[in-house]
Amino acid sequence: MAREKLLGPLGESHARVDAPDKVTGATRYPGDIALPGQLWMKTLYAHRAHARIKRLDVARAEQTEGVVKVFTARDVPINEFGLIAFDAPVLAGDVVRWIGEKVALVVAETEQQARQALDLIEVEYEDLPALTDPREAMKVGAPVIHPHYANNVLKHVPIRKGDVERGFAESDVIVEGAYYTPMQEHAYLQPEAGLAYLDEEGRVTVQVAGQWTHEDQHQIAHALGLPDERVRVIYPAIGGAFGGREDMSVQIILALAVWRLDQMGIHRPVKTIWSREESILGHHKRHQMWIRAKWGAKRDGRLLAAEVEVIADAGPYAYTSTKVLGNAAVTCTGPYFWPHARVDAYAVVTNNIPAGAFRGFGAPQGHFAAEQQMNKLAKRLGMDPVELRLKNVLREGALTTTQTPLPGGVVALPQVVQVCARAAGWKATSTERHVADENLPQGSTSTRQPLATGYGFACAFKNIGFSFGFPEGASAAIELHGGTRVERAVLKIAGAEVGQGGHTVFMQMAAEALGLPLAQIELVASDTATSGDFGSASASRSTFFAGNAIRGTAAAALQKWRDEERPAIAIYRYQPPATENFDAATGRARPNIAYGYVAQVVEVEVDTETGQIRLKRVWCADDVGKAINPQLIEGQIEGGVVQALGYAITENFVTRDGHVLTPYFSNYLIPGVLDVPERIESLILEFPDSEGPWGARGMAEMPFIPLAPAITAAVHDATGVWFDELPLTPWKVWERLHERSYTPHS
């Protein structure tokens, strides 16, 4: 088990390169940057779930003191945006389809003047029927919300493998369940903000916190009707992202304002900062999903057939919903081998807040259903849940439900399952629990000891990089300066530092690839004017793609150096193997380049008198392929676990008729330090991925994925009750334990 010490910078827990400025308050986030003569912008939102705009009058607002200009839909040259489809308006002109739809922008001398003028904009609406339940919206005859999407179905993914009827007929045991997973708010601590101006070359420039500089640039350029190179996007420090900054928030509206003002002869920067409430109302959420599953297995535990239906609430526009849905379709049968599978997954258009990317990207929802099913099956068979996993996890060469093997060499599912179980002392705890379980009364424990302890297990897999044929790749550039030897190396790369430590890891990998000490690497990052397209800081892909891009660039730069070019400058683009979209009839696909694997054991304590659940300990085994910076990996595991704890227990995103009732941190409760486990044991495995740089896989999403079903398994272990919907708020738990008037969501 002893680990060889590496000589190079790889594998070392280097301190973050951005840490000194962050601990002294010197780091500038978008809201911290001010330019001379800057104007302020505030946004008017619809606050209606579905309505037609009958009249919009900005005259009074425009005449208010300090107001420079009010912009509406008429001012947007090409009034559409979207990451996978241009189906959403930048500013609504005729119909608003969700409460956060933007209707007008006020630009004024001060923020206060802009805010006050919002109240003077006159809008007359005619309310339209609001569809907020996707199961209703997809019914034949429901009113159509968006002209692009007939029957309100944005996407249907069917997966067909084998013959499920035969599989069920041959099964000894059938387990059926209906599951609900809620919306989740990203709740990064830095609300959206940005500053736009024309740079020295006349480019419309936006300094903003995002996840993909070149996609922001492209969407801005599209809406303004400009070529991409007339737009520049720069990311200063980014205060968290988690998928929530992958779609547009303030990017296009800031660019629009500064560009239109410039045409009016007003050459001044424009700044905006959203409040917490605007942030919670204004950007997309994790998809809520309703999942029905029927699984059949042999008495010895072998899985035979799965039939699953997934209904995902997309909100009114596509954002990234088709891709999230694809991931849910692939993961809703878990990381297991199935001879027979039939999956039907639907993304449905509604008048709720748009849904989009959030750490895990469909996999947490899919795995919640899959792992609940698996733990219920273990119970039905009287089999240890870990043993049941080891009988069924996907291995090298086994065909997934999309009828292709998992790529990348070792499929480390048995390894993460075993390392995690062993580290947690699973055998001992589960044996104890099996004994204690029989003594626990089902459903009501109020006359006994109020605190009940339980243990739960779950595992997961998820893709790294974009899926389903979406164009993928990453660019980097390296300049080597010096005379007889390299004195300094400049790495230019657009990849976003969203807090994960990406920039530190990029520099470590560049030092390794160039054979230089870290101190000689300079980083120029996150600016479309200095770098090619890197793709997004999402899908656990930054280390994987940056590493491959840096290795290729370093090799080219060193060759030029040997050829005596001074400075030696190389530009390189890493292009991974192509992926495939689902076959329209069977779902057959090679959907991904690479995967990560994870398993977790949790210990919970349930207060049966109050319904409160305390997550006491977590063991997380995560195969990262190669740990470039172990301390940063631990940070991702600990942070991912705590974010998933919020998803499972504390974060209750409440909506009514499309309106959000929890737009503050006082009623949307993300975990604080007093809510988190005493111990999170990070078990870092290194089974190299054959396509990964130095064998590294992506890992940042994995620790999130299995936690919720591990918690519900532990709660069952403690109380004998299965909870099939999240979050496990105290009132919900108490009502179920005391069998009071509980009405399930699904």
Partner 1 sequence: MEQTTIRFTLNDRPITHAAMPYRTLLEVLRDDLGLTGSKEGCGTGDCGACTLLLDGKPVTSCLVLAAEADGRKVTTVEGLAKDGKLTPVQVAFIRYGGLQCGICTSGFIVAAHALLESNKTPSEADVRAAIGGNLCRCTGYDKIVRAILAAAYDEGELVDESASMPVMEKPLFTEGPM
Q: What is the 3-state secondary structure (H, E, C) of 596-654?
A: EEEEEEEEEEEECCCCEEEEEEEEEEEECCCCCCHHHHHHHHHHHHHHHHHHHHHCCCC
**Crossing angle for the helix pair 363-381 and 385-392, nearest 10 degrees?**
110
Please, what sign has the CA dihedral across residues 332, 468, 621, 16? negative
Q: Which residue has 């080219």 as its token pair? A: 556
With binding defined as CB under 8 A, does residue 276 bind partner 1?
yes
Stretch that binds partner 1, among 154-162, 166-174, 524-532, 679-687 (CB under 8 A): 679-687
Residue closer to partner 1 by CB (options 689, 724) is 689
Answer for which of 31, 316, 334, 547 binds partner 1 (CB under 8 A) is: 31
Strand partners of residue 481: 488
Q: For the beta carbon of residue 524, count every other beta carbon within 10 angstroms.
A: 14
- 353 contacts: CB under 8 Å, gap ≥ 6: 98, 99, 100, 183, 281, 284, 285, 315, 655, 658, 660
CB of 584 to partner 1, least distance (A): 37
Phi and psi at residue 695, to the nearest 5°: 90, 0
* Burial call 116-146: b when 16+ CB within 10 Å, e when fewer: bbbebbebebeebebbbbbeebbeeebeebb
With binding defined as CB under 8 A, does residue 404 bind partner 1?
no
With binding defined as CB under 8 A, does residue 419 bind partner 1?
yes
CB of 730 to partner 1, least distance (A): 19
With binding defined as CB under 8 A, does residue 12 bind partner 1?
yes
* Chain centroid offset of residue 571 CA: 30
Which amino acid, one-letter code, is at 300?
Answer: D
Task: Please say whether the beta carbons of 674 and 650 come within 8 A.
Answer: no
With binding defined as CB under 8 A, does residue 548 bind partner 1?
no
Binders of partner 1 among residues 499 to 518 (CB under 8 A) are 499-501
Question: What are the CA-CA distances from residue 309 to residues 158, 215, 322, 328, 469 (Å)?
Answer: 9, 32, 15, 10, 24
Stretch that binds partner 1, among 76-84, 101-109, 659-667, 737-745 (CB under 8 A): 659-667
Answer for which of 172, 228, 681, 725 binds partner 1 (CB under 8 A) is: 681
With binding defined as CB under 8 A, does residue 183 bind partner 1?
no
Answer for which of 145, 424, 621, 726 binds partner 1 (CB under 8 A) is: 621
With binding defined as CB under 8 A, does residue 641 bind partner 1?
yes
Distance CA 310, CA 304 (A): 20
Got the DSSP string for 298-330?
-TTS-EEEEEEEEEEE--SS-TTHHHHHHHHHH
With binding defined as CB under 8 A, does residue 240 bind partner 1?
yes
Answer for which of 522, 686, 725, 735 binds partner 1 (CB under 8 A) is: 686
CB of 1 to partner 1, least distance (A): 5
Residue closer to partner 1 by CB (options 20, 577) is 20
With binding defined as CB under 8 A, does residue 498 bind partner 1?
yes
Please, what sign has the CA dihedral across residues 674, 675, 681, 682? negative
Answer for which of 643, 650, 712, 719 binds partner 1 (CB under 8 A) is: 643
With binding defined as CB under 8 A, does residue 189 bind partner 1?
yes
Residue closer to partner 1 by CB (options 493, 621) is 621
For the chain, report the end-to-end CA distance as a whole number of angstroms: 47
With binding defined as CB under 8 A, does residue 542 bind partner 1?
no
CB of 631 to partner 1, least distance (A): 5
Answer for which of 128, 555, 556, 676 binds partner 1 (CB under 8 A) is: 676
Residue closer to partner 1 by CB (options 315, 640) is 640
Question: What are the CA-CA distances from residue 61 to residues 76, 117, 174, 293 (Å)?
Answer: 19, 5, 64, 54
* Burial call 695-707: b when 16+ CB within 10 Å, e when fewer: bbbbbbbbbbbbb
Residue closer to partner 1 by CB (options 244, 720) is 244
What SS3 class is residue 462? strand
* Burial call 177-213: b when 16+ CB within 10 Å, e when fewer: bebbbbbbbbbbebbbbbbbbbeeeebbbbbbbbbbb
- What does R_g of the chain's alpha carbons equal in angstroms? 26
Q: Contacts with partner 1: how many residues (CB under 8 A)?
A: 76
What SS3 class is residue 702? helix
Residue closer to partner 1 by CB (options 410, 606) is 410
Stretch that binds partner 1, among 22-30, 344-352, 549-557, 566-574 (CB under 8 A): 22-30
Q: Which helix (H) or strand (E) holds 504?
A: helix 502-514
With binding defined as CB under 8 A, does residue 18 bind partner 1?
yes
With binding defined as CB under 8 A, does residue 640 bind partner 1?
yes
Stretch that binds partner 1, among 63-71, 319-327, 334-342, 663-671 (CB under 8 A): 663-671
Answer for which of 67, 223, 238, 539 binds partner 1 (CB under 8 A) is: 238
Residue closer to partner 1 by CB (options 402, 643) is 643
What SS3 class is residue 724? coil
With binding defined as CB under 8 A, does residue 673 bind partner 1?
yes
Q: Would strands 451-464 and 474-482 be described as parallel, antiparallel, or unpaired? A: unpaired
With binding defined as CB under 8 A, does residue 483 bind partner 1?
no
Answer for which of 683, 711, 728, 737 binds partner 1 (CB under 8 A) is: 683
The pattern of x and - marking residues 34 through 63 that bind partner 1 according to CB under 8 A reads x-----------------------------
With binding defined as CB under 8 A, does residue 387 bind partner 1?
no
With binding defined as CB under 8 A, does residue 680 bind partner 1?
yes
With binding defined as CB under 8 A, does residue 239 bind partner 1?
yes
The pattern of x and - marking residues 576 through 615 that bind partner 1 according to CB under 8 A reads ----------------------------------------
With binding defined as CB under 8 A, does residue 109 bind partner 1?
no
